[in-house]
Amino acid sequence: MLSLFRGKKVIFPRGIHLSAANAVFMLGITPVYLGAAPCDYPAVVRIDDIKSALRTHKDAAAVFITYPNYFGLCCDIEAISEAVHKAGIPLVVDAAHAAHFVYSSLLPLSPSHAGADIWTESAHKTLPAMNQCACVCVGRNALVDKFEVKRALSVVQTTSPSYILLGSLDYAHAYMRDKGEQELYRIISLGKRFEEMIGALPGFDCPEIDQSGITDRDYLKMVIDVSGTGHTGIALRNMLANQGIHIEAADMKNILLLLTVGDSAAHLETLYEALRRVEKVRGRNIYFSPYSMPGATKYSQNSRFWGNIEKVRIERSAGCVSACTAGVYPPGEAVIQRGQVISFEITGYLLEARRQGFDMFGVDDESIYIYRERL
């Protein structure tokens, strides 16, 4: 999608997926990152921030948003679409976790019905499809050229596609057209009942998430606050994995479940019994939110930075230009990308995430790759 805007200016949220961050560097895009705010859960894009950025950057070629975010939280995509189209540019959407929205009225509005011009869907995340079954979609009245989209795909895709994966993608959508609505109703109902059961367990809670800009949520992304047990979410994730139960993600206070039409009441019962057996412990008074990202820093596409790479300890990297894209999982978004200056706040963020046991990418042990020259 982003190759359609090679060499142009694009407005982005503060946190974007690794693939989008890499595309910015590879395609010579000038990124404009929206501001970051402290938050306990992954933030969503706010319409006021989009409007402000559009007024300031009248030469922007597109606006890129994530819908929904990793926790299933949704921004006001209709209002954003209207504002972006009023500026005469397309709305580009990372809708990796929204492939199932179109199949149920109980779920948030799908990008296709909200005015998105072009978006990606990862069928392998929320539909019964094999891994790598993702696709790019173009709206009926899109402000992008469909021929250009096909040409862009031909540049990055193999000339020998896997017909196993293509068949799996076709099967997934055929299945959802035939049974999706009733199956989604089934699993949403099971999920709501499961939330009630979890909420009755000592030390557990399924919170109502109230953050600025959120207009809807995907009920198949279930957030369970485990802080009342004294365990961190990360510790509880590891305990569950030892029992053969693998959840979607975990942070200091929560575990995240991803329900799909492939799940059953028996699956949820197994998880419930495992959580019911969790013993309370004395908790630590330490809290780190990987969703409170430091602000974006100066970025350069200068080719003189493409060589002369060295590895330094994270705490010594402040003021240097990053030679890699790095971040924390969850939320799996880039806190620093190749070509950006590493700030003291970013080094502190990475070091604390590592100390608290989060999974990370772009970081080699306790070191990070930088360019020797500075901006």
296 within some domain: no
The residues, any chain, with a CB within 8 Å of residue 199's CB and separated by 6 or more, are 205, 206
49 within some domain: yes
| CATH number reported for the structural domain that contains residue 307 in this entry | 3.90.105.10
Cα 201 to Cα 106, 195, 251: the distances in Å are: 27, 10, 20
Buried b or exposed e, range 118-142, using 16+ CB within 10 angstroms? bbbbbbbbbbbbeeebbeebbbeeb
Verify that 255 and 354 share a domain, yes or no: no
pLDDT tens digit string along 315-342? 999 999 999 999 999 999 999 999 999 9
Collapsing DSSP to helix, strand or coil, 192 comes out as helix
Q: Are 250 and 234 in contact (CB under 8 A)?
A: yes
pLDDT tens digit string along 54-84? 999 999 999 999 999 999 999 999 999 999 9
Distance CA 5, CA 61 (A): 7
Sheet holding 62-66, edge to edge: 30-33, 9-12, 62-66, 91-94, 118-122, 134-138
Verify that 205 and 268 share a domain, yes or no: yes
332 within some domain: yes
Cα 58 to Cα 6, 46, 306: the distances in Å are: 17, 18, 30
Give the end of a domain, one of 239, 258, 276.
Answer: 276
Give the end of a domain, one of 116, 135, 164.
Answer: 164
| CATH number reported for the structural domain that contains residue 236 in this entry | 3.90.1150.150
Within 10 Å of residue 66's Cβ, how many Cβ atoms?
27
Q: Are 257 and 222 in contact (CB under 8 A)?
A: yes
Verify that 32 and 130 share a domain, yes or no: yes
Distance CA 53, CA 108 (A): 25
Compute the mean pLDDT over every residue in the chain, rounded to the nearest whole number: 94
Q: Are 106 and 81 in contact (CB under 8 A)?
A: no
Beta strands in the chain (DSSP E): 9-12, 30-33, 62-66, 73-74, 91-94, 118-122, 134-138, 216-217, 221-225, 249-250, 254-258, 309-313, 321-322, 326-329, 333-336, 359-361, 367-371
The predicted pLDDT at position 304 comes to 59
Distance CA 283, CA 228 (A): 8
pTM > 0.75: yes
Question: Domain range holding 193?
Answer: 180-276
Alpha helices in 212-343 (DSSP H): 233-241, 265-276
Number of domain units in the chain: 3
The predicted pLDDT at position 305 comes to 59
| CATH number reported for the structural domain that contains residue 111 in this entry | 3.40.640.10
Give the end of a domain, one of 225, 241, 276.
Answer: 276
Distance CA 289, CA 180 (A): 35
Q: Which residues of the chain have pLDDT under 70?
A: 285-286, 302-306, 374-375
Q: What is the number of helices (H) and of strands (E) in the chain?
A: 11, 17
Distance CA 245, CA 265 (A): 14
Verify that 23 and 152 share a domain, yes or no: yes
298 within some domain: no
The predicted pLDDT at position 306 comes to 66
333 within some domain: yes
- Cα 114 from chain centroid? 19
195 within some domain: yes
